[in-house]
Structure 1
Amino acid sequence: MNAKRKRIGLHVLLAGSLSLFAATVQAVDIKVISDSPLEPALTKVVDLYRQQTHNQVSLVFDPSPAVKKRIENGEAADVVIVQPDFADDLTKSGNVSAGDRPIIAHVGVGLGNRQDSPAYDISSADKLKVTLLGADLIVFNSVKSGQAFADALERLGIADTLKPKIVRTTPTGIFGPVLSGKGNDLVAGTIPLIATTPGIKLLGPLPGDLQSTLTYTAVVTTNTSQRDTAERFIEFLLSPQAKEAFAASGAR
């Protein structure tokens, strides 16, 4: 009886070892370069992808203009996730494949402040205007989401009034002045980044028609050696579970 049990145990162990070996052999590594506002959401989605496929994904984040430049300068990648106009440019230059460009996510622009600052109501244009006029410092970036916020200030009719209080920085530099500040300081930027930055709380999205969303598309590079895996990864980004993970992180 003991010998029989030992044989069964050996067979189970061997089967498990073979399964693990097969999974290891079949696993594929791909590299994805993405626009930085998607980092909080895409990181969670990729975790789900890894769990289900055992494939490994190397994620690199940079603003869309920098992603475009990196690819044009010859940096290797399998998938690129950028705003559609940058995908158009990369297609024209022959760096990414032509064809379908699925929209994988939309990211809105919001307003935040330090965790210990008041939780202002910005749910209407009038309330947003009052909040902005009461700020000591307003920080936002110098790329597309920052321009969307600058356009909102113009539409509110307070751009010139607020000019002495405004600091524009790189996309990764918007939180530093607010976190190190002592006054009534505000930061405007993409909602996922505001919502997931330690020490910062999201006051809310820009209300109504003041809102402007950034759209992201995923494309396969022309020089990838893992085309099938890259295409299946993009398919996963469109799956219901991926959409749920995007939404939970402030993208939709």
Structure 2
Amino acid sequence: MRMSMNGISSMATRQVLNDLACAYETKSGERIAIESTGGVAAFKRIEEGEAFDIVVLAADAIDRLAASSRIDAASRVRVARSGVAIAVAKGAPRPSVDDEAAVREAVLAARTIGYSTGPSGVYLTRLFERWGIAERIAPRIVQAQPGVAVGTLIARGEVELGFQQMSEMIGVEGIDVLGMLPPEIQALTVFEGAICANARAPQLARAFLAFLASPDAGDAKVRHGMEPC
């Protein structure tokens, strides 16, 4: 009898999980369904007890779900890590982003600056505060709604300079990715998966998580702008 399991994740891992779910289905014959939404919304749904077999979120969110016993903490696996990329509209002038000073100048010069409600957005808020420019650029900040890619806002002309996980920039039409944040200010987010406390197919969930963490999943992670952990 064919088994099935479901999961929920943030948008940052949507594409890689879709690919890996398809690969696992082909390999095992089991059905894997992963719903991707804004990370804040995904976390809330697990906290409120909605039934899923697995959840894949940033490690700090998984920490909080473990603390509230919404996941099996012993089942946690590292799925991938992702850095923050910078993008502008396709064909637009390309400011230098080679080092910290250049990125700061690009931010100050931009008419609008976009970031997400996820880990990269939290990090950028702190970075702008550390640079002492948060109040100065506050009227120009456009924060993407949960589940909406910053790249989409760039392509629409709503954001001039945008920041988000590279995994969410890849494949977005109408943008040019300038590159990653330079190493001195880069922030790598680790994404983890775990079995939910109310999982209906825990054995299949455990097997799929093992596949996500295995070397067999590495090429898909790189293809979608992430790194194996």
Q: TM-score range by the shorter chain?
A: 0.7 to 0.9
1:112 Cα shift? Answer: 0.8
Give me the identity figure in percent.
25
Aligned length: 226
Q: Per the alignment, in what secondary structure is the counterpart of residue 172 of structure 1?
A: coil
Q: Counterpart of 2:39?
A: 64
| In 2: Cα distance, 1:223 partner to 1:250 partner | 31
1:78-227 correspondence runs (5 A): 78-173=53-148, 174-181=150-157, 185-227=160-202
Q: For 1:38-53, what aligned pairs fall within 5 Å after superposition?
A: 38-53=13-28
Q: Aligned pair in 2 of structure 1 residues 93, 60: CA closer, same or farther (>3 Å)? A: same
Q: Distance in 2 between matches of 1:202 and 1:159?
A: 24
Distance 1:136 1:194 in 2: 20
- Once the two structures are TM-superposed, the CA of residue 160 in structure 1 deviates from its matched residue by 3.6
Query: More deviation in 203-212 or 137-146?
Result: 137-146
Q: Which residue of structure 2 aligns with residue 14 of structure 1?
A: none
- Which structure 1 segments of 5+ residues have no match? 1-24
Moved beyond 6 Å, runs of 4+? none
Q: Shift of the alpha carbon at 1:157?
A: 4.2
> How far off is 1:148 after superposition?
0.9
Give the deviation of 1:51 after TM superposition.
1.9
Q: Map Cα deviations across residues 101-142 of structure 1 (whole Å, 9 max, x no partner).
A: 221111111111112213443121122233223322111123
Q: Which of 1 and 2 has higher RCO (CA within 8 Å, sep 6+)?
A: 2
Shift of 1:85: 2.8
Q: How far 1:197 moved relative to its partner? A: 1.7
Change (3 A) 1:80 1:140: same
Q: Quick one: which amino acid aligns to residue 131 of structure 1?
A: A
State the structure with more CA Rg.
Answer: 1
Distance 1:107 1:231 in 2: 23
CA RMSD of aligned residues (A): 2.1
TM-score if structure 1 supplies the norm length? 0.81
Q: Does 1:249 align with 2:224?
A: yes
Contact 1:137/1:166 (8 A) holds in 2: yes
Q: 1:64 to 1:165 in 2, by over 3 A?
A: closer
Equivalent residue letter for 2:16: A
Paired amino acid for 2:167 = P
Q: Within 2, Cα distance between the matches of 1:108 and 1:83?
A: 12
- Deviation digits for residues 169-207 of structure 1 (CA, Å, limit 9, x no counterpart): 32434345422228x811111111112222222111111
Q: Is the 8 A contact 1:109 1:149 kept in 2?
A: no
- List per-residue Cα deviations over 1:84-105 (Å, max 9, x = no partner): 2322332333321131422111
Deviations 1:37-81 (A, max 9, x none): 111222222222122112211111123332222123232111111
Unmatched 5+ residue regions in structure 2? none
